[in-house]
């Protein structure tokens, strides 16, 4: 009887355990299903959120931002191309007058001073010449005697009363005395110093009473009508330079005064060491320039009085090419390739289809490309935002 009761109790305990296990499994399954549904919902929400954010970002990317720029309207005006040089002026006719006397002589008379205008051949000074005059008179007497003797010997030789040798000796003596007379006259002439060229006495190196030796410097004479500027033109610009080409000159002392000159000649060869060609520029006497002055020289190689002027600050350089941005309509620009026909320090004259009135970008073009959206700024007002309401403002007039 007791054994039967134990068996029943054991069966009841097993039944209870099985029921407990079954309930636990049901709860686990329910939790697992709920988790999967939650994760799926969360993933869907995130996907919807990303899609919404992507739509918003796409809208922002589609909105192009206008670049603030400054423009000017092209106009017409004069332009010239110049070659610039610096040099010292010099006179082509610049002569040092030297003493030519073969002996030491004293200055007896001084006839000109520094600053004096002299003609060619004009007497400048006299040297002491008493001894030379005496020597000349002595030779003239000897020559007169030799001529009489030569005439007598000629008559005797014609009558065959003297030998040929005697006649030849008389002839030789006469010839030598004639040469001595020429030397004496020349030496006496050297005591009168004359101007070799017409010009201005710029230096005097002797005074009355000074002893003058052979080859001593006495005066310096400069022809101010022969003042020139010599410049050296690079070989690549040689084709621009020709005789008669106009030149402007400015002194370092006063650059506000402009002097005019012209190319007188161009050397017919290129210096192989420097790759340059010498050009000589003549300067009129009334220009007020002096030899030795340091001057700036501008050779005007080309001129156009009615050129389309493009400011150099508008140019963009890309390798060997030049570009500008022209306003196309009111808010977009086009990129144009141009070629400089003439240029000066501030502007170029373009070769192309640009016309007066075209508006081109002169500030802010660094970040532009062809077709870029732009917003004009008023440079005079200094407003980078295009006015108080951010609206477009008019182009700056060129």
Domain edges within the chain: 67-79+304-376, 83-91+225-303, 95-222
CATH number, domain 67-79+304-376, options 2.40.420.20, 3.30.1600.10, 2.60.40.1480, 2.60.40.1250:
2.40.420.20
pLDDT of residue 288: 80
Could you tell me which CATH class the domain 83-91+225-303 is placed in? mainly beta
C-beta of residue 394 within 8 angstroms of C-beta of residue 86: no
C-alpha to C-alpha distance for 34 and 319, rounded to whole angstroms? 69
What's the pLDDT at 13?
Answer: 65
Tell me the angle at which helices 130-158 and 164-189 cross, rounded to the nearest 10 degrees. 160
**List of the chain residues with pLDDT < 70:** 1-62, 379-398
The predicted pLDDT at position 384 comes to 47
Structure letter (DSSP) for residue 353: S
The whole-number pLDDT of residue 388 equals 38
The dihedral through the CA atoms of 312, 315, 321, 326 has a sign that is negative
Domain 95-222 carries which CATH code? Answer: 2.40.50.100
pLDDT in tens, 324-369: 889 887 888 888 888 888 888 888 888 878 888 889 998 988 888 8
User: Do the beta carbons of residue 108 and residue 127 sit within 8 Å?
Assistant: yes
- Provide the pLDDT for residue 380: 52
Rounded CA-CA distance 17/4 in Å is 21
Give the pLDDT score at 19. Answer: 61
| pLDDT, position 40 | 44
pLDDT at 7 (0 to 100): 60
pLDDT recorded at residue 107: 93
For residue 227, which phi and psi values (nearest 5 degrees)? -70, 135
Residue in 255, 288, 253, 314 with CA at minimum distance from that of residue 84: 255
Closest Cα partner for 223 from 205, 244, 202? 202
From 98, 130, 375, 83, select the one nearest 233 (Cα to Cα): 83
The helix/strand/coil state of 199 is strand
Give the three-state DSSP class for 11.
helix
What pLDDT, on the 0 to 100 scale, is given for residue 15?
65
What's the rounded Cα separation, in Å, for the pair 20 and 10? 16
């Amino acid at each position: 009887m007791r054994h039967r009761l134990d068996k029943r109790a054991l069966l009841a305990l097993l039944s209870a355990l099985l029921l407990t296990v079954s309930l636990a499994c049901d709860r686990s399954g329910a939790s697992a299903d709920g988790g999967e549904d939650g994760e799926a919902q969360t993933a869907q929400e995130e996907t919807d959120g990303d899609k919404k954010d992507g739509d918003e970002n796409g809208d922002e990317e589609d909105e192009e931002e206008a670049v603030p720029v400054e423009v000017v309207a092209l106009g017409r005006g004069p332009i010239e191309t110049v070659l610039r040089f610096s040099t010292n002026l010099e006179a082509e006719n610049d002569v040092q007058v030297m003493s030519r006397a073969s002996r030491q002589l004293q200055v007896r008379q001084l006839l000109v001073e520094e600053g004096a205008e002299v003609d060619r051949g004009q007497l400048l000074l006299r040297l002491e010449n008493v001894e030379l005059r005496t020597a000349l008179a002595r030779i003239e007497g000897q020559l007169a005697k030799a001529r009489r003797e030569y005439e007598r010997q000629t008559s005797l030789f014609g009558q065959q009363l003297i030998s040929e040798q005697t006649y030849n000796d008389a002839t030789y003596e006469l010839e030598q005395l004639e040469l001595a007379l020429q030397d004496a006259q020349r030496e006496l002439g050297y005591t009168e110093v004359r101007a070799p060229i017409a010009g201005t006495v710029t230096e005097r190196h002797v005074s009355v009473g000074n002893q003058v030796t052979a080859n001593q410097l006495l005066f310096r004479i400069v022809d101010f009508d022969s003042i020139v500027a010599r410049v050296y033109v690079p070989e690549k610009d040689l084709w621009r330079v020709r005789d008669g080409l106009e030149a402007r000159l400015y002194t370092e002392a006063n650059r506000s005064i402009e002097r005019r000159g012209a190319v007188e000649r161009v050397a017919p060869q290129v210096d192989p060491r420097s790759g340059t060609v010498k050009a000589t520029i003549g300067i009129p006497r009334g220009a007020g320039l002096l030899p030795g002055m340091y001057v700036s020289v501008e050779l005007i190689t080309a001129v156009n009085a009615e050129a389309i002027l493009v400011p150099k600050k508008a140019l963009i350089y890309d390798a060997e090419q030049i570009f500008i941005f022209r306003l196309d309509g009111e808010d977009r620009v086009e990129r144009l390739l141009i070629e400089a026909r003439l240029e000066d320090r501030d502007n170029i004259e373009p070769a192309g289809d640009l016309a007066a009135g075209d508006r081109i970008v002169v500030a802010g073009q660094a970040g532009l490309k062809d077709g870029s959206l732009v917003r004009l700024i008023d440079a005079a007002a200094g407003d980078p935002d295009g006015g108080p309401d951010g609206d477009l403002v008019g182009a700056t007039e060129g």
